[in-house]
Amino acid sequence: MAISAVAGILKQLKRTHKKLTINPCEISGYPKPTQIIAGDRPDNHWLHYDSKTLPRTKKEWESSCFVEKTHWGYYTWPKNMVVYAGVEEQPKLGRSREDMTEAEQIIFDHFSDPKFVEQLITFLSLEDRKGKDKFNPRRFCLFKGIFRNFDDAFLPVLKPHLERLVADSHESTQRCVAEIIAGLIRGSKHWTFEKVEKLWELLCPLLRTALSNITVETYNDWGACIATSCESRDPRKLHWLFELLLESPLSGEGGSFVDACRLYVLQGGLAQQEWRVPELLHRLLKYLEPKLTQVYKNVRERIGSVLTYIFMIDVSLPNTAPTTSPHVPEFTARILEKLKPLMDVDEEIQNHVMEENGIGEEDERTQGIKLLKTILKWLMASAGRSFSTAVTEQLQLLPLFFKIAPVENDNSYDELKRDAKLCLSLMSQGLLYPHQVPLVLQVLKQTARSSSWHARYTILTYLQTMVFYNLFIFLNNEDAVKDIRWLVISLLEDEQLEVREMAATTLSGLLQCNFLTMDSPMQIHFEQLCKTKLPKKRKRDPGSVGDTIPSAELVKRHAGVQDLPSFPSLFMALQTQGSQGFRFMAHSPTTI
């Protein structure tokens, strides 16, 4: 409560900073768009992070127009856009004690006292609830207010404590230093260039040490620290931080866990900047692409999550300009080329890659399986976070997933099969655009001819969900309805019993929701299948097991009786077959 109270007092003591009105189109040199177009446009390009034009000197810093609000300019510009005026027009920094108010002097005296600061840091470093303590926003607000109101006056007192805390890997001390550093970064918003430059000379070594000492208990705190530091801040002001985070995040120093944590922290910072850092996103993608064949699960999962944020802004919506950030179709096309060794084979794909780094050269199949595992993590993460559904290029991966996904729900399956099954489930629930429907159906028809009955079975489960989630889009396309009808009926005559049963279930569902109708041609087709003649029962040889009915006739008859509950007249037709028809029932007890 005392921390919150002091943080509130500091906010009340905050000095007013002068703002001025600007015309963003004059800064960009481009006229205002005649209509609202969201996305990257020539008139908002000046807000992007560009390593060639970063303010690295005092002159460049003071001549730059910084815009802290991330959403300004993406959709449209505010009618009255105001930004902070230059440093020379802002309240004086580096004030002496005599220049402060009485309330400010009390705070200044306490935080200038080394003994008080030591006691405060010791208290904030104590463990409160083991395993439940988290990054505390109240403490962050306290330090943010201190460094905002008094700039760098207390850094000399705090510096030795920061160096000591960051070298200590204990959970509570790491959390404390993360809260202080986040407050420092956010509190330095109005500092002069000289003060900011000196601050980052201090912080960069501290952050490198912290990231090398990161643990399973503290990685969430450091992720919150960096995300909080980058929230509502112009990325050009934080170029020291972003360049540091992009320094070999997958260096391997400290093992796979530290690599995954570095990516997590980097992801937290970039996610706050959204559309304003396309250059950093391109650099990160270029760095990660050769490393997608990671064998460690935790790194694969984190890369998949990072890829989701890299492509987050790549959306195709009305009145939206193409983004300058990385594009999903281009990336997926490169991935498809690398997965060709797996896509060209017709048999089921088995995972033979263990959770360890291989030594020496690996064949294309092994590399493909490693890459596929990471891509599955990306697609699963994108399903819940992305602003758009799968693009056309991603749908071309479906045949590969159909060959891998298992039929049964069994937790004993390896990671590759479980992920493929889950990914198919998530992709089937996604919205399809009308122009994507023919492509998906072509993929399903192609897979229906696969030699793997697992693949033929899986396309039916995918088809059920896909149709129900996109019912009206399919109903608006007569050719698509005919293709689905043909696909399901053809699989009713599949040689594999499990495929025929799933086809019957699929057909029954499509009939019950009136996607398909019991028209005369369909009824006649099943009646003919029910009337398929079976050879007379022959005497079995002594010791023989099973019947000698040819499989072709049996499959056709079985297909005819699969949907008897949906076709009452077919049941009557079967009765006319007499003992011959009911003899077939005896061979198909699961259907009856």
* Three-class HEC string of 76-117: CCCCCCEEECCHHHCCCCCCCHHHCCHHHHHHHHHHCCHHHH
Determine the 3-state secondary structure of 20 from DSSP.
strand
User: Cβ distance 296 to 304 under 8 Å?
Assistant: no
Q: What are phi and psi of 71, to 5 degrees?
A: -80, -15
Tokens of 245: 């985070």
Report the mean per-residue pLDDT for the chain: 84
Quickly state the pLDDT bin for 360 (edges 50, 70, 90): very low
Rounded to an integer, what is the distance from CA 572 to the centroid of its chain? 54
pLDDT at residue 2 in the model: 87
pTM metric for this prediction:
0.86
How confident is the model over 456-502, as pLDDT tens digits?
A: 999 999 999 999 999 999 999 999 999 999 999 889 888 888 888 89
538: number of Cβ within 10 Å = 9
Quickly state the pLDDT bin for 362 (edges 50, 70, 90): low
Tokens of 64: 């730059």
Closest listed residue to residue 529, CA positions, set 547, 502, 552, 509: 552
Side chain identity at residue 559, one-letter code: A
pLDDT at residue 23 in the model: 92
CA angle 80, 82, 87 (to 5 degrees): 165
In the predicted structure, residue 251 carries a pLDDT above the cut 70? yes
Q: How far apart are CA 310 and CA 304, in angstroms?
A: 10
Closest listed residue to residue 159, CA positions, set 169, 172, 147: 147
Q: How far apart are CA 354 and CA 414, in angstroms?
A: 10
pLDDT at residue 45 in the model: 93
Tokens of 135: 């990054």
Closest listed residue to residue 348, CA positions, set 409, 420, 296, 412: 420
pLDDT, mean of residues 437-451: 90
Closest listed residue to residue 46, CA positions, set 75, 67, 61: 67
